[in-house]
């Protein structure tokens, strides 16, 4: 028991929680924005992979780190535009389109990486974001060291979660997004263009997903390899349901999963005689249990995955 308490009370654990949660926050907010407007975006895994690759590639060829994030966001927006064209304009299956985007973006990432970066014994590296201290917070006991170990994109992710919560529930734009996801025909009757709203939500949401991927190569690590996303996109899809399509709960869900993950990594070295695979699957089992509990109370946007045709009901 004392081992568990020591782990939970350590600064290193909570610093790791914020670091692990950051790409999940970006990805979950992006998926949530898409789904609030009525579009399921299963392209998230491929979009995160492509964002990780293209953001790293931009920095590797001389761009600064913030430009790398911007390039990743623009690349994600392009894939979002593709997904929106297939699902919003053409009304194709959102499942099939999303999986197609994931397969295409993931494969295209590896192709471009190998086309532009020569084969080497170890992948090339860049200088990633450095941790920054927030004036006034760095001196706080426990909290200060945890925050001082974080890089700027982590602060950006938390601020975006709070901003999106305000926009979705406190602004006319958020109302238009929610109306489009619940009843696009009622939204149209109020002067809202549901197709434009869905396009905007999918493009912006995909940009956020790509930034989440870029965090892995520009902050968490310093190089790119094709499998580095490791299913984080699918976790984000589950976290949206866990969060009941609310940005504040999405932030909490990402932190909760990150806590499980960081905790099991430390248990592997603290507990002997237990196969490490047991610890690896622990965060996923706990997340599934939490998802089962929360999903019973979740209210799905009524028009989610339903194609919209002007004049049809």
Predicted confidence (pLDDT) per residue in 170-217, tens digit? 999 999 999 999 999 999 989 999 999 999 999 999 999 999 999 999
User: 313 in a domain, yes or no?
Assistant: no
Calpha distance 42→94 (Å, rounded): 8
Give the pLDDT band (50/70/90) at residue 95.
very high
The tokens for 275 are: 């196969």
Domain count, the chain: 1
In angstroms, the CA 21 to CA 151 distance is: 12
Q: What is the DSSP letter of 133?
A: P
Residue 305 lies in a domain: no
Q: What would the mean pLDDT of 122-149 be, rounded to a whole number?
A: 84
The dihedral through the CA atoms of 130, 112, 24, 195 has a sign that is positive
137 assigned to some structural domain: no
> Exposure string (b/e) for 37-55, b if CB count within 10 Å is 16 or more?
bbbbbbbbbbbbbbbbbbb
Instruction: Judge whether residue 297 has pLDDT over 80.
Output: no
Instruction: Give CA–CA dist 70/207, Å, rounded.
Output: 9
Residue 187: how many other CB atoms lie within 10 Å: 24
CA distance linking residue 140 with residue 87, whole number of Å: 49
202, 34 in Cβ contact below 8 A?
Answer: yes
End-to-end CA distance of the chain: 59
What pLDDT is recorded for position 125? 87
For residues 270-283, give the mean pLDDT. Answer: 72
Q: Rounded distance, CA 144 to CA 134, Å?
A: 8
Q: Is residue 58 part of a domain?
A: yes
Residue at 153 is within a domain? yes
Boundaries of domain holding 274: 2-122+146-295
Report d(CA 82, CA 211) in Å as an integer: 18
Q: Is residue 308 included in any domain, yes or no?
A: no
Task: Look at residue 252 and tell me if it is in a domain.
Answer: yes
Model's pTM, two decimal places? 0.93
Residue 197 burial by CB count (10 A; 0-12/13-18/19+): exposed, middle or buried?
Answer: buried
Q: What is the CATH number of the domain that holds 274?
A: 1.10.3470
Position 121 scores a pLDDT of 65
């Amino acid at each position: 028991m004392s081992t568990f308490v020591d782990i939970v009370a350590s600064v290193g654990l909570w610093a790791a929680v914020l670091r692990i949660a950051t790409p999940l926050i970006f990805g979950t907010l992006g998926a949530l924005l898409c789904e609030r407007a009525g579009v399921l975006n299963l392209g998230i895994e491929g979009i995160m992979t492509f964002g990780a690759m293209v953001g790293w590639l931009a920095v590797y060829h001389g761009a600064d780190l913030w430009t790398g994030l911007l390039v990743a966001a623009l690349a994600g927006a392009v894939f979002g535009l593709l997904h929106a064209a297939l699902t919003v304009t053409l009304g194709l299956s959102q499942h099939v389109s999303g999986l197609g985007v994931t397969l295409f973006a993931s494969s295209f990432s590896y192709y471009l990486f190998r086309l532009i970066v020569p084969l080497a014994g170890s992948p090339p590296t860049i200088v990633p974001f450095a941790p920054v201290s927030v004036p006034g917070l760095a001196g706080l006991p426990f909290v200060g060291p945890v925050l001082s170990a974080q890089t700027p994109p982590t602060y950006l992710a938390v601020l975006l979660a709070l901003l999106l919560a305000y926009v979705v529930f406190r602004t006319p734009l958020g109302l238009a997004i929610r109306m489009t996801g619940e009843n696009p025909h009622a939204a149209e009757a109020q002067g809202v263009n549901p197709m434009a709203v869905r396009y905007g939500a999918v493009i912006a949401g995909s940009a956020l997903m790509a930034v989440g991927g870029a965090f892995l190569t520009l902050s968490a690590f310093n190089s790119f390899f094709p499998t580095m996303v490791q299913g984080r996109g699918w976790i984000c899809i589950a976290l949206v349901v866990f969060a009941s399509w609310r940005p504040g709960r999405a932030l909490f869900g990402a932190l909760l999963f990150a806590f499980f993950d960081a905790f099991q990594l430390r248990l592997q070295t603290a507990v002997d005689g237990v196969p490490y695979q047991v610890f690896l699957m622990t965060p996923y089992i706990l997340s599934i249990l939490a998802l089962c509990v929360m999903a019973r109370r979740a209210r799905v946007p009524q028009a989610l995955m339903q194609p919209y045709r002007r004049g049809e009901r």
